[in-house]
Structure 1
Amino acid sequence: MIPKLFRGFVDDAAVFPPGSASLPDAVRAHLEHRGRWYQDLVGPLLVKTSQLSQVQRHLDEFRTGDEPLRVGIVADTGMADVAPAMAHLRADIVPVQVEVPVAKRGEDPMPGVAELKETYGDWGGVLVYGEIPLTFGLHEALDELAGTPVIPKFRTGGLLSELFPTPEELAAVIVACAGRGSGLKLTAGLHHAVRHTDRSTGFTHHGFLNVLVACADAGKGAAVADVAAILRHTDPRPLVDTTYELRDRERPLWAGFGSCSVTEPLDDLIGLGLIEEPVQQ
């Protein structure tokens, strides 16, 4: 059984870098995840707007039951294309969220935020995440989205070192979202539970347990410096102890994260004793 804290924690971003699975492989693997004992850990399969028509064919190819496929739409061709693409989906492909980049890194996010506010009402009431670059204009964008159903989303990794925010940068974002009551979602670079340096790339990754505990403290009013200190932890023990106490509660502040691997976060949670793998009979 997956504890409440981790239900729907990891969205399946298999088609996105660095995993970059083919769409057929991603659909097949996602259906396998949905049939395993850990299925409640897994959120929707994230697919680009431009891929939605192909998803239907691969679902017919690989599905063995009649359970609907829950998808999260990543708007790769613009916000205006999302509603028409949703309208052409079959009833057994259910969009549960839409993720929209409001600007590229270094661009002013405000025009994209304004377009998003005008557009999200056409998407049938699904969860909406607006991805905001961690550059100038961030706080103005958060102010503009406060009080709307749109949940801010931020990138915490990628193929370039500058896409990994420092603990202080990420802490400032977490505290800013907590102060506005907006929640947040993260994506990229969070495959493992505890802060670490990847030997193959040299990039230092945030740990998802660090972020979870940091969000819990930020929700209680912790300052940026204190939240950053949690994000810097490399010793899993205090993070595990705090997380264990939260296992039966809703996730504080953090909606979850997209990962091109579902099993790597799962393996870490099992290894740290936070999820118990059923004994094979």
Structure 2
Amino acid sequence: MNAPHTDDTLIAPGLRAFLQRIVDYAGMFPPADLPLHEAMENFLSYRTEPERWMLNRFVVPTKRLDELRPFRQAIASNPPVGLSVLGQGGATVDAFLEAFTDDLDRIDTCIEDHNSHVRPDVMEVRLPTALLDPFEAEPVARFLEAVDSTLAQHGLAHLDIFFEVPLTDQTASQLPQILPAFASANANQPVPEQSILGLKIRCGGMEPELFPSTEQVARAIVACRNAGVRFKATAGLHHPARHHDEQYEVMRHGFFNVFGAAVLAAEHDLDVDGVSAILREENADTFTFTQEGMQWGPLSASVEDISHSRAALAHSFGSCSFVEPVEDLRALSLM
């Protein structure tokens, strides 16, 4: 990026806690659609920038992990590279588990190829659609046990998995029944070797119908908060505040909105209406970050509260651009 930036020591502690390792760089995906080699070059470059503290993992499909081999030397000369890998998934449980075994084989090979200088410690993958229509708790519990058993067989018990459930009115209403199964599976994990399950929320895409409503996102955040399950977001969160997209004629969600709503929902026990109000906010300046923490309207959270919510609830978001969020924050005089 190499653009002028605010002295790192002047960044408000509330903002630093809020944005710490918040961006999973997904440069290979739309609308950027960069070749893998260019996306990885960008990622390694961003790790030298003053804003590197905002950067989290590199997002790559498991089927393309072998394409990282040309970067072995570059990766080995830097701190280990964290990867969030996209699993192949499957519509049925059997199809999922077959693809999942192949995914784990590819992860094993990648770790060996790079002598552990890469750390594929997060997977994003769709929950089999067969488990959602109709939803029944027992089949989901059996599925999660099978996933855990497969992980153990591969010696990858440390791989966290965020299951994507496409947000519709129906699935959003099902999350209060689905997520307790994730929480139960997490509670039964041994410490310290554990694979923590979470929810992946898709906030946009290349079609208007892929943008969930504020109420659907709010229901997902509240359901995660109530179940004690983390979420990560993806798609559409390039800019801080909610705004109109002229290309798709939709309202895009902002990362201040989604993650601010999660932090304040955790701190103030907000209901769906309360979370929705934060998600609808279109003025980024109403989110203020200070030495003490953050505030939106009458609601506030301390630096410690923000850090806890980011660790326990609001994990990160995938973005095909790391530059755009940083430039927007500079334009707001926050960095």
Report which stretch shifted further, 244-253 or 217-226: 244-253
Report which stretch shifted further, 255-264 or 101-110: 101-110
Quote the offset at 1:133 in angstroms.
1.7
Counterpart selection for 2:143 from 87, 92, 115? 115
Aligned to 2:261: 214
Q: Aligned partners of 1:272 and 1:246: how far apart in 2? A: 21
Letter in structure 1 aligned against 2:71: H
Counterpart selection for 1:99 from 105, 124, 129? 124
Quote the offset at 1:206 in angstroms.
0.5
Q: Tell me: CA distance 1:173–1:63, structure 2 relative to 1, closer, same or farther (3 Å).
A: closer
Counterpart selection for 1:13 from 10, 26, 36? 26
Counterpart selection for 2:179 from 142, 149, 173? 142
Q: Aligned partners of 1:196 and 1:205: how far apart in 2? A: 5
1:137-166 C-alpha deviation (Å, 9 max, x unpaired): 532322321232201111110011111111
Report which stretch shifted further, 72-81 or 106-115: 106-115
Q: Tell me: CA distance 1:32–1:251, structure 2 relative to 1, closer, same or farther (3 Å).
A: farther
| 1:156 and 1:187 in contact (8 A); partners too | yes
Q: Aligned partners of 2:100 and 2:181: how far apart in 1? A: 18
Q: Aligned partners of 1:20 and 1:104: how far apart in 2? A: 27
Quote the offset at 1:237 in angstroms.
2.2
| 1:214 and 1:230 in contact (8 A); partners too | yes
Q: Does 1:243 align with 2:294?
A: yes
Q: Does 1:80 align with 2:93?
A: no
Pick the structure with greater CA Rg: 2
Structure ranking higher in helix proportion: 2
Report which stretch shifted further, 230-239 or 137-146: 137-146
Q: Aligned partners of 1:142 and 1:113: how far apart in 2? A: 11
Quote the offset at 1:16 in angstroms.
1.4
Quote the offset at 1:228 in angstroms.
0.5
TM (normalized to structure 2)?
A: 0.74
Q: Does 1:265 align with 2:302?
A: no
| 1:240 and 1:272 in contact (8 A); partners too | no
Q: Does 1:127 align with 2:156?
A: no
Aligned to 1:231: 279
Aligned to 1:201: 248
Give percent identity, aligned residues only: 28
Q: Tell me: CA distance 1:221–1:210, structure 2 relative to 1, closer, same or farther (3 Å).
A: same
Letter in structure 2 aligned against 1:82: D
| 1:47 and 1:71 in contact (8 A); partners too | yes
SS in 1 for 2:88: coil
Quote the offset at 1:106 in angstroms.
11
Report which stretch shifted further, 190-199 or 142-151: 142-151
Aligned to 1:69: 81
Aligned to 1:58: 71
Unaligned runs of 5+ in 2: 1-7, 90-98, 187-195
Q: Aligned partners of 1:105 and 1:32: how far apart in 2? A: 41
Letter in structure 2 aligned against 1:268: D
Quote the offset at 1:105 in angstroms.
11
Q: Aligned partners of 2:259 and 2:22: how far apart in 1? A: 11
TM (normalized to structure 1)?
A: 0.87
Aligned to 2:96: none
Letter in structure 2 aligned against 1:255: H
Q: Aligned partners of 2:244 and 2:165: how far apart in 1? A: 25
How many residues in Structure 1 have an aligned counterpart in Structure 2?
274
Unaligned runs of 5+ in 1: 277-281
SS in 2 for 1:264: helix
5 Å-filtered alignment, 1:177-192, equals 177-192=224-239
